[in-house]
Amino acid sequence: MTEKKTVGIVGARGHTGAELIRLVAGHPRFELAFVSSRELDGQPVSAHVPEYTGGLRYANIPAPELASHAADACILALPNGHAAACVDSLVAAGADPVIVDLSADHRFDDDWYYGLPELTRNRYAGQKHIANPGCYASAMQFAIAPVRDLVDGPVQCFGVSGYSGAGTTPSDRNDVDKLRGNLMPYALVDHLHEREVSRQSGLAIEFMPHVAPHFRGLTVTANVHLREPATLEAVRARYAGRYGDEPLLRIGDDAPWVSRIAGRHGAEVGGFTLSEDGRRLVVVATLDNLLKGAATQAMQNLNLAFGFPETEGIPVES
Ligand SMILES: NC(=O)C1=CN([C@@H]2O[C@H](COP(=O)(O)OP(=O)(O)OC[C@H]3O[C@@H](n4cnc5c(N)ncnc54)[C@H](OP(=O)(O)O)[C@@H]3O)[C@@H](O)[C@H]2O)C=CC1
Ligand SMILES: CC(=O)N[C@@H](CCC(=O)OP(=O)(O)O)C(=O)O
């Protein structure tokens, strides 16, 4: 086996950071170079992520010092607005790792590759700067892409996420007391993922997100008006044609349930329902926001960037 490629994770204490540590620890061709966290500075990684059995400790690495920690790839798992300082510091120092940014900071930047592998891998041309898509944005795009050319008018998407989607910085959206027995609507127009999917798909998206009391996993119900009447057979054939060979996408006749996707690496699309006139299609997509909505996708992107099989190191269910 050739030498492993080294990966640094910035923002490694967070929900997605922990999933990334697990994935890198279990990968045959990557190993951790550093994991940064201010709060866990000095603590052994294995004390927080038992799947990692090496001796590495978290380190507080401020952005200006990032370039002094060599790595073949650097994953940024920081809150929105913090990626630029890290990228600038790496570029200024002449370090040129593959950078995968989990935040939204580069999803609207044409100089960065937008890495939603199942839909954009044919646009990958060796870019070393990769913007990882948003979690809801991934589910919405999986729900809509196979019928994109049939869409008439805006697509409405109703989304419900587990509260891990809101990160670890305390807010109403990850406050378990306020969420108990509750469903919390927020950002009902102009959510960032509404803009992200509109930009990527070229369609008008109307997205209404909610956060629920469960920890992980999200569901999106997309309401798609069609230019011409369709049949269920034709709709199913389109989704099967588009996703049938995708190891991380599963298509089902029944609507997928969020409780069944939590902790799993793929996404599910199903529940195809047509109005009587065949002009209104409803589709449901679920995924684990921390995995296919974040860390798993980042690992697919890293594999792609290093020329490894795209799902290497990702537990794929048959
Ligand atoms: N959660 C999710 O479902 C998804 C999240 N994302 C995106 O991924 C990124 C990470 O999300 P998530 O893991 O949930 O976030 P968390 O809030 O769980 O973790 C954020 C991490 O960043 C560090 N951090 C926080 N503030 C700062 C700061 N000012 N300067 C430096 N480090 C900081 C924190 O660690 P410490 O304080 O120890 O340094 C922590 O390790 C975000 O951009 C998010 O939008 C994308 C898709 C899905
Ligand atoms: C429940 C919840 O709050 N979810 C987050 C989405 C998480 C995500 O994908 O965030 P970024 O686009 O910021 O990377 C939100 O709606 O902002």
- CATH label of the domain that carries residue 76: 3.40.50.720
313 within a domain of the structure (yes/no): no
Shared domain for 94 and 182, answered yes or no, is no
Same domain, 93 and 14: yes
Amino acid 223: pLDDT: 99
pLDDT of 10 reads: 98
C-alpha to C-alpha distance for 283 and 221, rounded to whole angstroms: 6
Ligand 1 centroid–CA 72 distance in Å is 21
Q: 255 and 185 share a domain?
A: yes
Give the position, in ligand 2's atom list, of the atom nearest the Cα of 103: 14
Torsion of CA 46, 47, 48, 51, to 10 degrees: 40
**Tell me, what's the pLDDT at 318?**
72
How far is residue 214's CA from residue 205's CA, in Å, rounded to a whole number? Answer: 26
Give the mean pLDDT of 148-175. 98
The answer to whether the complex's ipTM is over 0.90 is: yes
What distance in angstroms lies between residue 51's CA and the mean position of ligand 1's atoms? 20
Specify if 109 maps to a domain: yes
Q: What is the distance between the alpha carbons of residues 186 and 184, in angstroms, rounded to a whole number?
A: 7
Encode pLDDT of 82-135 as tens digits. Answer: 999 999 999 999 999 999 999 999 999 999 999 999 999 999 999 999 999 999
Q: What is the pLDDT of residues 261-273, one digit of tens each?
A: 999 999 999 999 9
Is residue 318 in some structural domain? no
Closest residue by CA, ligand 1 atom 4:
165
Does residue 154 surpass a pLDDT of 70?
yes
> If you search the block for the tokens 């979690």, which residue do you land on?
135
The pocket around ligand 2, CB under 6 angstroms, is made up of: 80, 103-104, 134-135, 161, 165-166, 173, 192-193, 209, 211
pLDDT of residue 148 exceeding 90: yes
Amino acid, res. 50: P
Same domain as 148, residue 62: no
Residues 78 and 160 in one domain: no
User: Which atom of ligand 1 is closest in space to residue 134's alpha carbon?
Assistant: 47
Tens-place pLDDT, residues 23-69: 999 999 999 999 999 999 999 999 999 999 999 999 999 999 999 99
Number of H helices, E strands in the chain: 9, 13
Backbone phi, then psi, for 78, in 5-degree steps?
Answer: -100, 160
CA angle 131, 135, 137 (to 5 degrees): 80
277 Cβ contact partners less than 8 Å away, ≥ 6 residues apart: 229
Instruction: Using the mean position of ligand 2's atoms as its centre, give its distance from the Cα of residue 313 in Å.
Output: 25
**Alpha carbons 102 and 293: distance in angstroms, whole number:** 10
Q: Exposed (0-12), middle (13-18) or buried (19+): which is 29, by Cβ within 10 Å?
A: middle
Same structural domain, 181 and 269: yes
- The domain tally of the chain equals 2
pLDDT digits (tens, 9 = 90+) for 183-205: 999 999 999 999 999 999 999 99
Domain range for 248 is 135-289
Six-digit token string for 108? 């609207």
Question: Would the pLDDT of 1 be above 90?
Answer: no
- In-domain check, residue 125: yes
Let me know whether 115 and 46 are in one domain.
Answer: yes
> Counting ligands in written order, which one lies closest to the CA of residue 194?
2
157 assigned to active site? no
CA of 200 to the centre of ligand 2 (A): 17
Nearest ligand (C-alpha, residue 197): 2
Q: Is 289 in the pocket of ligand 1 (CB under 6 A)?
A: yes
Predicted local distance difference test score (pLDDT) of residue 317: 85
pLDDT of residue 209: 98
Same domain, 68 and 41: yes
Overall pTM > 0.95: yes
CATH number (domain holding residue 236): 3.30.360.10
Q: Are residues 189 and 262 in the same domain?
A: yes
Write down the catalytic residue from 74, 86, 135, 157. Answer: 135
- Mark whether 56 and 176 lie in a shared domain: no
Residue 214 counted as domain residue: yes
Residues in contact with 173: Cβ distance below 8 Å, sequence separation at least 6, in sequence order? 163, 165, 166, 179, 184, 186, 211
Question: Any idea what DSSP says for residue 60?
Answer: -
195 CA to middle of ligand 2, Å?
13
Is the same domain home to 83 and 127?
Answer: yes
- In short, whether 134's Cβ falls inside 6 Å of ligand 1 is yes
Residue 90 within a domain: yes
- 55 inside domain: yes
Measured distance CA(127)–CA(112) in Å, rounded: 7
Same domain, 259 and 297: no
Nearest listed ligand to the Cα of residue 297: 1
pLDDT value of residue 2: 77
Our mutation pick for probing the ligand 2 site, out of 140, 192, 219, counting the most ligand atoms within 8 A of Cβ, is 192
